[in-house]
Amino acid sequence: MLPTAGLPFLTHLLARIEAAGIKHVVLGTSFKAEVFEDYFGDGSKMGLEIDYVFETEPLGTGGGIRNVLPKLRGDNVMVFNGDVLGGTDLNGILETHEKTDADVTLHLVRVGDPRAFGCVPTDEDGRVSAFLEKTQDPPTDQINAGCYVFKREIIEQIPEGRPVSVEREVFPNLLAEGKRVFGHVDSSYWRDMGTPEDFVRGSADLVRGIAPSPALEGPRGESLVHPGAGIAPGAVLIGGTVVGRGAEVGAGARLDGAILFDGAVVEAGAVVERSILGFGVRIGPRALVRDAVIGDGADIGARCELLRGARVWPGVTLPDGGVRFSTDV
């Protein structure tokens, strides 16, 4: 639910689902489940019909799929990881699933350096031949992109009521049983949003139009300024910067790939690069914030320098010049 290009992250995925003609969505939730239903409701405002299923204890990637089975309606079910920002053609995955008569179809994306991921090789017909753990010498550049189509009968076979991993248990077992597991392979936009660095990059890609989202209207560019925000003369906003509602940016401030949540303030002459500023944060004059995460309500004094992965907890106050990396004082 973190604001991503000014909208709760899941909004971008749900908008892509609706644009593909899929109307019924089941959200499997656990921690703070109520925030999803409070915001999205029954889905009608997005042209969807949303049901919710709560996990009383974590069930893993496979157990979570099995847990929502009573709410599923179709014979073929599309499954998404909720922390992935993607741009693939969802109907293309469904077409591959139907054309190959697959039991399961995986979206596989080609990446430049697959060593950081488990990889999924396929044969000349697109049939998955193995699920491989991370290795320094991967045999393919295809990785699991976190989007699948299951035949309902396969979901029915997943053990109920216990943690199950699709990657380590369900998929390898299907291969061992000779089931038809196929890959839909492309080079579409894909980013796992599991780290602050990827979150910043993904948000910037949405703003600049590199990552597609039907939820964002109007032209894309170097910045996205939401209604009610104030930008003083001489401020520079580039790199896919997002300025939230009610936020303020002072004269001469420079924001490059920055994310300002609602109500954040960046005062005159401050520089914020590739960083997340939480709700109500204040960055003092001539401060430098680079590759950092500043928690809600924190107050960063003038001339402070926060660099290289710095984290400031919510509500913390740093005095003027209280943190410096430079040797000029």
Statement: residue 198 has pLDDT above 80: yes
Statement: residue 115 has pLDDT above 80: yes
Q: Is residue 206 part of a domain?
A: no
Q: What are phi and psi of 34, to 5 degrees?
A: -65, -25
Token reading at 190? 């894909």
18-31 confidence digits (pLDDT tens): 999 999 999 999 88
Q: Is residue 65 part of a domain?
A: yes
Q: Is residue 212 part of a domain?
A: no
Mean pLDDT of the region 215-232: 92
My answer on whether 299 and 150 are in the same domain is no
- Identity of the residue numbered 104: V
174-192 confidence digits (pLDDT tens): 999 999 999 999 999 999 9
Taking the model in full, what pTM does it have?
0.91
My answer on whether 77 and 158 are in the same domain is yes
Q: Is residue 198 part of a domain?
A: no
My answer on whether 116 and 170 are in the same domain is yes
Token reading at 132? 């491989």
pLDDT band at residue 248 using 50, 70 and 90 as cut-offs: very high
Q: Is residue 215 part of a domain?
A: no
Number of domains in the chain: 2
Q: Is residue 197 part of a domain?
A: no
pLDDT band at residue 263 using 50, 70 and 90 as cut-offs: very high
Q: What is the CATH number of the domain that holds 300?
A: 2.160.10.10
My answer on whether 82 and 187 are in the same domain is yes
Domain termination site, one of 192, 207, 232: 192
My answer on whether 126 and 259 are in the same domain is no
My answer on whether 186 and 38 are in the same domain is yes
Question: CA 31, CA 49: separation in Å to the nearest integer?
Answer: 22
Q: Is residue 199 part of a domain?
A: no
305-306 vs 288-290, strand pairing mode: parallel
Q: What is the CATH number of the domain that holds 144?
A: 3.90.550.10
Q: Are 191 and 84 in contact, with CB atoms under 8 Å apart?
A: yes
Structural domain harbouring 114: 3-192
Q: Is residue 202 part of a domain?
A: no
